[in-house]
Structure 1
Amino acid sequence: MTCLDTFMLNAYLEDTLPLRMKQEVQRHLDTCSWCQSKFEQYLDELDTSDDEGEDVWQTEATIQNVMDKLPAYPMNVLKLKPIQKQPVQINWKKRSVDIVKKTTIAVAGLAMVVTFGTAVSPTFANYMSGIYASINPSEVTVTKGPYNAKQVVNLFDKKQTDIGVKKAAEYGFVQPLDMKVTDQGLTMAISAVVADPLRIMVLGSVTDSSGKKIQSFWKDQFTIISSDNVKDFREVRLKDKNGKVIMRLDDNQRETLPWPPVPNGENFAYGGQLSGFFDEANPMPDELILEMRVKRLTDTKGTWNFDIPIDMRPAKAAMKTVALNKELETPTGATVELKEARFAPTATQLEFSNSNPNEKVVEGFRYELVDEKGTVVGKWDDMIEPDERDHNLSILGMSHGASVNFTEKWQPSTSFVHTYMPLDPAKNLTMKLDAVYTAEKVSSQTKLSFAELEKNPKKVNVAGNQITFQSMEMEDDDEYTSFNIPLEAILAKDIVGLPERWTVKDENGNDAALVWLRVNKKENQNGTIKLEGKLDVLFEKKDVKEISVVLDHVIKENKVNWEVPIKGEKK
């Protein structure tokens, strides 16, 4: 089924969803560990707590029990049309207690690993993966990098990590630091940094006057920080060694970094991806400075300033790129290009593109990445849920596949980056791709009325795909009209899914503010796919009498047999 996206979480946390839709979100959160993690990530921006909420967080056994079940995560969601009115001003202190009660202790106690889209807030535009690794020091062998991993490995929490940073630590690319600032009885310390051309991560902690570690730096993000007041708490910039601020290439107006802190056991981790900051015209410097200006920790105002030196030279020297530029044209006309492979200390990436998107829009791929011995060291399938992926291989927070390109106002992305654990560039790899998913254009507009569906389901045939809309529930309040429409679909041969992006209009032609498709997939005995689920629709107005559901494409599986060797020609 389709999972929650940031716009839905925003509407849920601002309490703008009708009661029934809120209940649906809560039920989904109870059963989907990926969305539970994503929900906690998003609370970093929006929620507030008070003393009663604090009591929930003190249930450490419950928190740990839930954290043990967390996947590594990422983002794969639906079509959303941003509501154009100003955000509702909310008493966040009251809201946080409500949210903690509504979403259960298990949800409130989850570890937060951030994944944001600019659809909600320009201040939190990136999403990032889990951070640091805990490794048994006796197993660490430093073979490549300049630093001694044994000095920092015990600082990392074992469960809140990704395999990429673990490998970077094993190879000596985690730099130990000893930077401390004390003000107002609170000491903030920076103890380690790992950086390569793909990302930067800093490990730190906050302790009170008795030396006890406290979680205020990352927990403030969960409790009282929003996009409107984040600068009252901290300002973080990336600079070169001469002090010049480095800004994202697609947003030269904002010099502060949108990266939120996340927990790492008793410590915190801070950082994010670097892919949007540098290109051939703007090369990465050899030395960077992460300037952190922390002004407030919970209710304590003070000054905790750091200029964290980051020597990029060892990781840049270790970074290997293999230019591939291999192109596959499927029998349907879809053209796929495997552009390059990147080998960095914290990750290995493959970059694809839909090089001729005007002919066929590529929705995704299915392939395996195998080494010289035939061992699968990476795999990807855009038609499975994130929870089903092998998180020992994929670093999902740094991957995007059949995704929405937020910088292009909801247009399908034509660039695909898949990220795996660090692999040895000296070894030969082979990418074996056996399926390309394409958007097959269809034309279907179905009118649905509350009264008619109460009497009989409505069946439609869309290019051989049988879709049945059943009796729908409608809910009106002072601002919104929402619909919950159960549906069932028997897909035609080789059709493997319905799109996440639907268009729904009311009787006056107004677009819905939110369309949320949630389905479970089953395979029939004849090899076709059956979908069962619900279509949730939200209009930013009341008294909607009739809706039109527009479906413009379905997702087709195109079988291929394409192998690309990845070896040599490293630069």
Structure 2
Amino acid sequence: MKCYDTGILQSYIDGELSPEMMKKVSNHLDKCKVCQSEFDKLLELNQWEIELRNQDIQRDPIDVEKAWNKLEYNLNNQNIISKIRGVFMNMNKSKLKKITTVTMAALTIMALPMAAKGVQSLFSTYVLEDSIVNETLVREDGTVVDGTKDGQFQTLDEKITDKDITVHLTDLYVSESRVSVNYRIEDKNGNLVPIEYDTKGLDLKDDGIKDGKQVDDPEYYLDKKEGTFSVLTFLQSEEGRSPFELFKDGNKLEIGVRELGEKTEGTITFVGFNPLEYPVNLDININKIGKVSGSWNGQIEINPNK
């Protein structure tokens, strides 16, 4: 497992990477303790920088040794180190610094409402046990965002089909500050499509295949001499867009986006620090699924008040 340098990790924090690279780095952070540690240090440095700016102490002489001693102390205090898991895009530094850690006890508590539903689905697990969304977003004033406040599950059966492949939206969860949607990528018989990639003509860095099975997105060189590379995602959209986006009155909502699940069946969550103003629209914008090019485009209004 190759680690990322601090430049890539800082670009991840700043949201300056492509959506594909954001997902790749996020997946790596979930598995690599070395990069997690480096990421924590960078995040703490960013927090320190923001606090300096907010307090306007840049205008005064800074006791560098004292500042670094304080920073080192903070880095060793695991209770205040922020950890991010999963994909969170479009959150600036002042918001990133407010995402904090949770305990396993919190996960157990979050699982309790499942009994009321009778059957625990994978989607409801992703919603109710997603501690990153439900318990670790903290506003600037210190109040915690409740990712399940006024939450309700709804069944969807929205399908967009092209080239015998269907993007099937099956479930919806709506709360005060979040929208979670479950999707399946199905063939004409309703089965999940195979995970395959069109790597023809690409200078592959890693094909993502382990023991004969596609387990990860392929990586390919943009410039082998410079060592720059990108990631080939299973769901692709036109440049500058993402496969799933949330809009309000024609404007894209710049809020956090988190993905859980597999490439052919997963949950995408849009979550903000402030209550969403419903109705909002979910835009589907996909022009390639695996090896198949096509057009899977649509818009669904989401309004929990109806």
Tell me, yes or no, whether TM beats 0.5: no
Structure with higher strand content: 1
Structure with higher helix content: 2
Normalising by structure 1, report the TM-score.
0.27
Normalising by structure 2, report the TM-score.
0.44
Larger radius of gyration: 1
